[in-house]
């Protein structure tokens, strides 16, 4: 089964409100809505900018999805600083990133937290973009595949195959994020193949074959073609290059 690629921009903690609106508008102005016949496109701004960014895309009738960078699993209540699945749904998010290495590293997010977030998103009708990836020391010790596949198992523990099938995995080696040092296409492919084998073991080959696995980590217009040419890489989760409208649009076009 041919998987539809997904090109996703993770804006991280960048842009003021005005800058976010200008970036969304510039993407929209340079975007041909027919592209989404063959590629899904997702933008993940800071949560404060989800509504205005989506308003730009909806006003222009652009079929560009918006997603959050993080979510909490409780629906509402006394959880200062958190944002819930119903809140994301209310501003027309289709998904949230969960388990990004920056959340795991700086904010102590655990595999169990990631699993709760995946569960909450699916229960609320949204899908998860679950991030996995090893540090350089884990890779140098030769344990990268085992480490990453354990993260996949933990993120999707307890799901039914139909639920898992809605989700996306993003393989982001920590040593390649924001460093300009991309994994080689072979390194990325090998890991994405191992992730798919893990998904097949958990949910069956048919589901694993449907699920999209993205690569993230210094993806840019210079390396995107080679990465997308790999059989188990179905798109990208892009940080730095997604903050420049022209570059993000080029990355989308590379999926066509």
Ligand X SMILES: O=C(CO)COP(=O)(O)O
Q: Which residues are part of a known binding site for substrate?
A: 10-12, 178, 218, 239-240
State yes or no: is 100 an active-site residue: yes
Stretch that binds ligand X, among 134-142, 187-195, 202-210, 215-223 (CB under 6 A): 215-223
* 46 contributes a contact to ligand X by CB under 6 A: no
Q: Is 33 helix (H, G, I), strand (E, B) or coil?
A: helix
Tokens 């084998």 -> residue: 197
Of 100, 102, 134, 145, the catalytic one is 100
State yes or no: is 172 an active-site residue: yes
Q: How far is the CB of 133 from ligand X (least distance, A)?
A: 9
Q: How far is the CB of 191 from ligand X (least distance, A)?
A: 15
Q: What is the 3-state secondary structure of 123-167? A: HCCCEEEEEECCCHHHHHCCCHHHHHHHHHHHHCCCCCHHHHCCC
Largest CA distance in the chain: 50
Give whole-number Cα distances, 210 to 93, 200, 204, in Å. Answer: 22, 10, 10
Within 8 A by CB and 6+ apart from 184, the residues are none
* 223 contributes a contact to ligand X by CB under 6 A: no
Q: How far is the CB of 45 from ligand X (least distance, A)?
A: 13
* 42 contributes a contact to ligand X by CB under 6 A: no
Q: Please answer whether residues 208 and 1 qualify as being in contact, where contact means their C-beta atoms are separated by less than 8 angstroms.
A: no
Of 145, 172, 186, 206, the catalytic one is 172
Binding characters for ligand X, 158-197, by CB under 6 A (x = yes): --------------x----xx-------------------
């Amino acid at each position: 089964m041919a998987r539809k690629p997904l090109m996703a921009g993770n804006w991280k903690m960048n842009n003021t409100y005005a800058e976010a609106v200008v970036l969304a508008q510039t993407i929209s102005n340079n975007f041909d809505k027919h592209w989404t016949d063959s590629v899904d496109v997702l933008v993940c701004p800071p949560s404060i900018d989800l509504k205005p960014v989506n308003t730009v895309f909806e006003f222009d009738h652009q079929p560009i999805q918006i997603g959050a960078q993080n979510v909490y699993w409780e629906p509402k209540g006394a959880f200062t600083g958190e944002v819930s699945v119903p809140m994301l749904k209310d501003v027309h998010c289709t998904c949230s990133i969960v388990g990004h290495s920056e959340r795991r590293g700086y904010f102590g997010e655990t595999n169990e937290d990631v699993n709760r977030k995946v569960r909450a998103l699916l229960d609320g009708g949204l899908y998860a973009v679950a991030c996995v990836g090893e540090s350089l020391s884990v890779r140098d010790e030769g344990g990268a595949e085992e480490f990453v596949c354990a993260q996949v198992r933990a993120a999707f523990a307890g799901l039914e195959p139909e639920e898992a099938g809605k989700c996306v995995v993003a393989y982001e080696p920590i040593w390649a994020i924001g460093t300009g040092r991309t994994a080689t296409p072979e390194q990325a492919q090998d890991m994405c193949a191992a992730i798919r084998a893990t998904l097949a073991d958990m949910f069956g080959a048919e589901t694993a074959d449907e699920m999209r696995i993205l690569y993230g980590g210094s993806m840019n217009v210079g390396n995107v073609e080679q990465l997308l040419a790999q059989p188990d890489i179905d798109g990208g989760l892009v940080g730095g290059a997604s903050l420049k409208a022209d570059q993000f649009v080029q990355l989308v076009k590379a999926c066509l």
